[in-house]
Amino acid sequence: MISDQEKPIYQRSLYSWVLTSKWYLQLAMIALIAGLVFLRVLPLEIQKRIVNDVLALGNAMQLLIYCLIYLLAVVFTSALKLAVNGLQTVVGQRALTDMRKELYQHILRLPLSFFRKTTPGTVVACLVTELSASATFIGEAIAVPLSNILTLLAIGGYLIWLNPLLGVVTLSIYPIALFVVPLVQSKVNTSNKSRVDVSNRMASLVTETVSGINEVHAQGSFQSEERKYNVIVERLFKIRIVWTLYRYAVKVTNNLFVGLGPVIVLLLGGYLIMQGKTELGSIVAFLSAQEKLYDPWKELIGFYDTQQDASIRYQKVMQIFEGQSEFNLIGDQAPPERAQGRVEVKDLDFVTANGIKLLDQVNLSIEGGEHVALVGYSGSGKSTLAKCIGQLYSYTGGEVLVDGYSVAGMTKEEVVKTIGFISQDPFIFSGTINDNLLYACDAIADYPDRDTPATPASIDDKIAVLQQTGIFVDVLRFGLNTVLDHDRDRELQKKFLKVRENFQANFGDEFMEHVEFYRQDSYLYHSTVIENLIFGSILNRQGLDYLEEQPQFLAFLDANNLHVPLLETGAELLLQTVDILGTDMPEDRIFFEQTPVLPDEYEGYLEIAAQLHGTPPLELKTADRRLLLKLAFRYIPALHKIIDLQPLLEKLLLNGRKQFKVWSSEQMGVAVSFYSDTEYIQSQSILNNIFYGNLTSDSPKVEDRVNQCIIQLLIEEDLLEAVAAIGMDFDVGNKGDKLSGGQQQKLSIARVLLKKPLILIMDEATSALDNSSQTRIQKLIEQWKGSCTVISVIHRLDLLPSFDKVAVMKSGKIVEFGDPRQLLAEEGVLHELAHGRKR
């Protein structure tokens, strides 16, 4: 018989986690609980003795001793309680961690059909929220009932020992409570089940809407989504009210029974004292015991509530993820070598859960190293067939064989080491380009090689596949746009200075008309006024943005006769902008490209422009003058052509440049990285440091030529790999949102090609690429003929001549199979398909 721990996680009971969760900690808790129970009863006896013996005899020393014992009991009780709570937390959180790990492991292996009907929100809610209650229960499962039941029994026994009649009558209310409270609790459980269900539905709806927010905005379906959400929220509102009221009813019922205890003690105990059948000290002990009985009773009721809540949530979670994986992860023996890559499909059927037949008696034979295209109209079953061959779908009839071995019987280890699959909808994971590039190779490394360990992909391998897929230039650009760490990358910085020197020497004359190189005595017409003045970069960009607000800097401008010309330049820029754009905010923001005024600032600047018609710039308010200076600082003569740069201002800025270096060293410390032919600019990218200037041409040919020259120089200095490695550390963002669609597609292709599979399945893998990139990938794949079996779902029929064979599908069947040239020449389905596409 299979033990509970050996069952799949969705079949395991909640209590199985209690039995497997750190048994030695549970034993430690039991030992602590024994001491805790004794310390809870001891103060009752001390109270009785103080009243009956000490106070009656007036023995002060005995009173002091008893009070000290009482105090120590209270202190040690608190310490033991804290220790027990700490152990409960460790046990519960360890169990929750193990539960999440096993459940996530199980979820990842569920069939793809499960994820088509289960939203990501449900998965997240179950793993993050719904299992949390289980941790609380597991931590308390042994400690809370054991400690509180023992406490109740110990105190109850002590009360009966003090006075059997009063003890039995006092304790008689608790059996009644044990019947009534669970009855009310059952109502809480029913409401809680509904609450969990509706909460999961709300999480799923929100996740779905947020995931499809682009479509929501595209269709303007805001009110429709709001209505769906509001219905669920209102439903949850009503359920939570009922659920909360029932929970309060449990507490009220419990408090009612607890409150009856002192009444019985006072009534019956008072009578017994008057009859001389008990002592005053015993009644004091009884009243104190009633209060102490309330705590374990309250904790037991709370534990029952926790157990019910955890049980309901746990069952709901396990019901959601009920189901087995369709494959084994690792076999008992090493996977057999598959040196041919021959694929046979025999009488293959695939029927969905709702009875739709997507594949019908498909037969296909592909020799090792052959390249076969799958074509057909939409819905003909091309992608389904590709996924069945790649073990992504579990077919319902027939067989798929790879070198004579059934795909259905292959372990995932065998599949990932044999087959590479590239889908038309690439998924890029959060992390770096390098993380995503190695994703498939790392997956292979996760499976222990029985003979020889897997060889990690080298930098040369990665660069080669990036070049082949056409994303290498992008990776280089990411690397070149990186700002190096001064302390960590000092040696690299020195090498890039050498590249700068070579660029100037070898290509300076060629790019003289297209590049504005940084020269100490030359004005940079493609840089801002402030950049011309400081002739460098302020390491803290915020300091550069707010220089106009710094009194010391304003004093520097005054000392170098720059303050007034800059104010006048800012005023002229503003007046020309208003004259061109008018007083209303232009709808098209392209108009602001010719001015340093930003669209969201325009309304505020209009008020200053109105004042300038009758007030000189120097007489404006301080805040307005600062805004004019900000405009002047942003002014780029080559870009903002609405005014001309005044020769006087240009001369003053060049003179001020020399003075600023001296002034900044005294006032700003090391905050400025000045442009220098012999020094690396700390705050700027590798590219800017090599280029050491501004590109004045927007011609793609010029940009390409600059890139070619820089790559050539990087190769000469043996720095290409270093820049590529830096580029591969580029963070792609959430789901690759920092990459374009084409870059994501190329990266997804590169990561599969890097592992060099024996069989490559491409499900319209180049559909998001332009024709040039598609052709590039296709030519690369052609080089693998004879060494790699390729099965490619394609929609561009002009690529057919590069394939050995083509399988034409229609309504889930292969209706034609053979040489693409011959089939195109015949008056068959492929000819009809190609003819229809041409039209």
Summarize pLDDT for 529-560 with one digit per residue, the tens: 998 998 987 665 444 556 777 888 888 999 99
CA distance 219 to 832: 36
Residue 713, pLDDT above cutoff 60: yes
Residue 41: phi, psi to the nearest 5? -85, -35
Name the burial class of residue 451, with classes exposed (0-12), middle (13-18) and buried (19+) by CB atoms within 10 angstroms of its CB: exposed
The phi, psi pair for 506, rounded to 5°, reads -90, -35
pLDDT tens sequence across 243-274: 888 877 777 776 666 666 666 666 666 666 66
For residue 148, pLDDT over 90 is answered with no
| Phi, psi dihedral angles at 731 (to 5 degrees) | -80, 120
Note the pLDDT of residue 113.
80
Q: Nearest to residue 149, comparing CAs of 295, 14, 25, 308? A: 295
Q: Which CATH number fits domain 4-320: 3.50.50.60, 1.20.1560.10, 3.40.50.970, 3.30.565.10?
A: 1.20.1560.10
Distance CA 68, CA 45 (A): 14
Mean pLDDT, rounded, for 88-109: 86
CA gap 640, 141 in Å, rounded? 73
Q: How many residues does the chain have?
A: 839
* CA 772-778-782 angle, 5° bins: 145
Q: What is the pLDDT of residue 828?
A: 86
CA 739 to chain centre: 17
Q: Across the chain, what does the average pLDDT equal? A: 82
Lowest mean pLDDT among 182-191, 375-384, 711-720, 723-732: 182-191
The predicted pLDDT at position 827 comes to 78
* pLDDT of 790 over the 70 cut: yes
pLDDT in tens, 796-805: 888 888 899 9
User: In 3D, which of 363, 367, 355 has the Cα closest to residue 385?
Assistant: 363
For 392, the 3-state DSSP assignment is: coil
Instruction: List, in order, residues 6 or more apart from 536 with CB less than 8 Å away.
Output: 672, 673, 674, 675, 681
Alpha helix locations (H) across 6-59?
14-19, 23-49, 55-57
Work out the pLDDT band at 450, boundaries 50, 70, 90. very low
pLDDT tens digits along 2-27: 566 668 888 888 888 887 656 677 77
226: confidence class by pLDDT, cuts 50, 70, 90: confident
For 609-624, the pLDDT digits (tens) are 989 888 888 888 988 9
Q: 682-717 as b/e, with b when 16 or more CB fall inside 10 Å?
A: bbbebbbbbbbbbeeeeeeebeebbeebbbebbeee
590 vs 599: CA distance, rounded Å = 10
pLDDT of residue 321: 87
In the chain, CATH 1.20.1560.10 sits at 4-320
Residue 13 near residue 317 (C-beta atoms within 8 A): no
pLDDT score of 832: 85
CATH of domain 343-471+731-835: 3.40.50.300
Give me the pLDDT at residue 587, please. 60
pLDDT at 836: 66
What integer is the mean pLDDT of 165-176? 69
Q: What percent of the chain has pLDDT over 90?
A: 21
In this prediction, residue 648 has a pLDDT band, given cuts at 50, 70 and 90, of very high
Share of the chain above pLDDT 70, in %: 85
User: Which DSSP helix (H) or strand (E) runs through 579?
Assistant: helix 563-581
b/e for 755-780, b at 16 or more Cβ within 10 A? bbbbbbbbbbbbbbbeeebbbbbbeb
pLDDT computed for residue 838 by the predictor: 41
Looking at residue 42, its pLDDT comes to 75
For residue 70 the two structure tokens come to: 């009482």
Give mean pLDDT, residues 102-120.
84
Pairwise pLDDT comparison (532 vs 285), residue with the higher score: 532
Give 755 or 452, the one with higher predicted confidence: 755
CA-CA distance, 592 to 411, in Å (whole number)? 61
Residue intervals in the chain for CATH 3.40.50.300: 343-471+731-835
- Which residue(s) pair with 397 in the sheet? 349
pLDDT over 50 (residue 189):
yes
Residue 527, classed as helix, strand or coil, is coil
**Tokens read off for 782:** 């052609």
Nearest CA among 416, 389, 325 for reference residue 115: 325
What is the DSSP-derived secondary structure letter of residue 372? Answer: E
Measure the N-to-C terminal CA separation of the chain; round to a whole number of Å: 67
Say what the pLDDT of residue 370 is. 93
d(CA 283, CA 268): 10
What pLDDT, on the 0 to 100 scale, is given for residue 331?
Answer: 60
Whether the pLDDT of residue 335 is over 60: the answer is no
- Specify the amino acid at residue 829: V
| pLDDT tens column, 62-79 | 778 878 887 888 888 888
Half-sphere exposure of 160 (CA within 13 A, CB side): 10
In the predicted model, what is the mean pLDDT of residues 670-689?
A: 82
Separation of alpha carbons 365 and 204, rounded Å = 43
Core vs surface per residue 143-170: b (16+ CB within 10 A) or e? bbbbbbebbbebbbebbeebbeebbebb
Q: What is the mean pLDDT of residues 78-90?
A: 83
Whole-angstrom distance, CA of residue 425 vs CA of residue 412: 22
DSSP state of 332: S
Contact 373, 794 (CB under 8 A): yes
DSSP helix/strand/coil, 673:
strand
Q: How many CA atoms, within 13 angstroms, populate the side-chain half-sphere of residue 496?
A: 28
Phi (first) and psi of residue 87, to 5 degrees: -65, -40
Q: Which residues of 574-609 are buried (b: 16+ CB within 10 A; e: fewer)?
A: bbbbbeebeeeeeeeeebbeebbbeeeebeebbebb
Tell me which residue has tokens 């053979």. Answer: 818
Separation CA 105–CA 439 (nearest Å):
18
For the ranges 419-423, 441-445, 728-732, which has the lowest average pLDDT?
Answer: 441-445
pLDDT tens column, 349-367: 999 878 889 999 999 999 9
The pLDDT assigned to 76 comes to: 84
